[in-house]
């Protein structure tokens, strides 16, 4: 079962959708978020610990499912950063907004 929470956050008249969900891979669950960024729209952000399992040391995908997951994720952040407020997360993504 996946739990999904919607929270609307007003930021200078722009509403950013903060969606928390889990990605399952290798019998483990990893946090991810959908964040609306004015420059590109909705993007999926997940954690580095997931990224490390998706790829081999040589930089290849471990399997086809890993590739499908990776291609949906816009950016990977440190595991402790995934719960940051949207503005802080956007700063980490190096995409500024007014």
Residue 44 DSSP SS3: strand
Place of tokens 């722009």: 14
CA–CA gap between residue 38 and residue 24 (Å, rounded)? 28
Percentage helix, strand, coil for the chain under 3-state DSSP, each rounded to 5: 25, 40, 35
Q: Can you tell me the mean pLDDT for 73-78?
A: 92
Structure pTM? 0.74
Which pLDDT score, from 0 to 100, does residue 19 have? 64
CA–CA gap between residue 61 and residue 39 (Å, rounded)? 29
pLDDT tens track for 17-71: 556 789 999 999 999 998 887 778 888 999 999 999 999 999 999 999 999 999 9
Which pLDDT score, from 0 to 100, does residue 87 have? 81
């Amino acid at each position: 079962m996946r739990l999904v929470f919607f929270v609307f956050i007003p930021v200078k008249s722009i509403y950013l959708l903060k969606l928390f969900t889990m990605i399952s891979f290798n019998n483990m669950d990893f946090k991810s978020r959908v964040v609306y960024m004015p420059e590109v729209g909705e993007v999926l952000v997940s954690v580095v610990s997931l990224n490390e399992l998706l790829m081999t040391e040589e930089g290849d995908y471990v399997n086809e499912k890993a590739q499908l997951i990776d291609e949906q994720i816009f950016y990977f952040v440190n595991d402790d950063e995934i719960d940051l407020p949207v503005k802080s997360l956007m700063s980490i993504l190096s995409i500024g907004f007014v």
